[in-house]
Amino acid sequence: MAGADRPLLAITLGDPSGIGPEVVARALSEERVYEIARPVVVGALGPMRRGIADTGVGFRARPIETVEGAGEEFGVIDVLNVDGFEDAEFPLGELSPVSGKAAHAWIERAVRLCQDGSADAMVTAPVNKEALRLAGSEDLGHQEVFKRMSGSDYVATMLVSGSLRCMHLSTHRSLIRAAQYATRANILMATRLTDETFKRWGFENPRIAVAALNPHGGENGMIGDEEITDIRPAVEDARAEGIDANGPIPADTVFNQAIAGRWDVVVVMYHDQGHIPIKVHGFEESVSVNLGIPWIRTSVDHGTAFDIAGKGIAQAVSMREAIKLATQLATGVRPA
């Protein structure tokens, strides 16, 4: 662990044209954060100071060149500058290639801090995929950066809101491509990764529900046969390996079951199948966490919200929850 008793968290500012600097400032205005972690912002002084001013938290942003000894003083936000952006102009509330380029550079710097052991986990504010594209990035978003920099064959996203956890088989795929991706091999791969990750987090025998793809679980092939040809066989394969996998369970019932405590996690077949129940169950509290990378990364589960950027009204509940979860995972505390 980078700190003697508290993990060091590399917190990226996200797209500086959005609400990232505000939610970071508001989250770090709570003394409890400094009691459990050592937060270091990876970004630039300009947008961090603007976020402090917009939220009125009355803190000071301090530039640092190294994370050694940083993140100790409540009331001072340590900002690790990334070369090339300290004097950059970031327009507020609009798409900007400069902002996209900076956001991408800050993600990569935070990853390197985790890779070299300087940071115990990273927490990310939101980026804008179109701004990344305008900046010339070939990475569609955070997940693609992590896959490239880790060399991992499979990086997955799990959303968490209270007792509901949704592990996504795929995320950034069209609905038609996502359905095509729901193969026996891919579902087994996702279920294995889920089981391995939850055991590492302290779950002795994770109870994994696997959602069906089609309405009513396909009605024995009458309205889709993917449950018969791929999902059920993948569940049976997982169970043969000693994994407590269950399903396929129709999507109109599995999430209520998970909220009630029957399942520790639900493996969902595509983006909206998991995002919608999470955000309905607890939009502000929802957090994203990546599986399949050799470092801890949590994130807010909302976008850059250009329409309210600079107004000082952005809520920081998701950022606080992301910091809390990153701290738990970095210190070996099983998530509740």
188/120 same-domain check: no
10/108 same-domain check: yes
9/129 same-domain check: yes
Helix (H, G, I), strand (E, B) or coil at 158: strand
Query: Does residue 284 have a pLDDT over 90?
Result: no
Q: Tell me: the pLDDT tens digits for 71-109?
A: 999 999 999 988 888 889 999 999 999 999 999 999 999
Domain boundary pick from 260, 275, 292: 292
Question: Which residue type occupies 192?
Answer: R
The per-residue pLDDT for 3 is 46
203/331 same-domain check: no
Q: Which two tokens stand for residue 272?
A: 């909206």
Strands 38-43 and 8-12: parallel
185/222 same-domain check: yes
Q: What is the pTM of this model?
A: 0.94
Task: Let me know: does 208 contact 268? Beta carbons within 8 Å.
Answer: no
Q: Tell me: the pLDDT tens digits for 7-27?
A: 999 999 999 999 999 999 999
10/144 same-domain check: yes
The mean per-residue pLDDT over the stretch 199-212 comes to 96
CATH of the domain at 308: 3.40.718.10
Tokens 């590399």 appear where?
10
Give the span between the Cα atoms of 144 and 147, in whole angstroms: 5
Looking at the 3D structure of the chain, how many domains does it have? 2
Domain boundary pick from 292, 312, 327: 292
66/92 same-domain check: yes
Give the span between the Cα atoms of 306 and 248, in whole angstroms: 39
- Other Cβ atoms less than 10 A from the Cβ of 94: the count is 13
139/193 same-domain check: no
226/328 same-domain check: no
68/179 same-domain check: no
How confident is residue 168, by pLDDT bands cut at 50, 70 and 90? very high
The mean per-residue pLDDT over the stretch 229-251 comes to 98
The mean per-residue pLDDT over the stretch 215-228 comes to 96
39/142 same-domain check: yes
Q: DSSP string covering 209-260, please? A: EEE-SSGGGGTTBTTB-HIIIIIHHHHHHHHHTT--EEEEE-HHHHHHHHHT
135/169 same-domain check: no
How confident is residue 4, by pLDDT bands cut at 50, 70 and 90? low
Residue numbers of the domain that contains 96 = 1-152+294-336
Lowest mean pLDDT among 1-10, 147-156, 251-260, 261-270: 1-10
Query: Does residue 2 have a pLDDT over 70?
Result: no
The mean per-residue pLDDT over the stretch 30-58 comes to 97
Helical H runs in 65-183?
97-115, 129-134, 142-150, 175-181
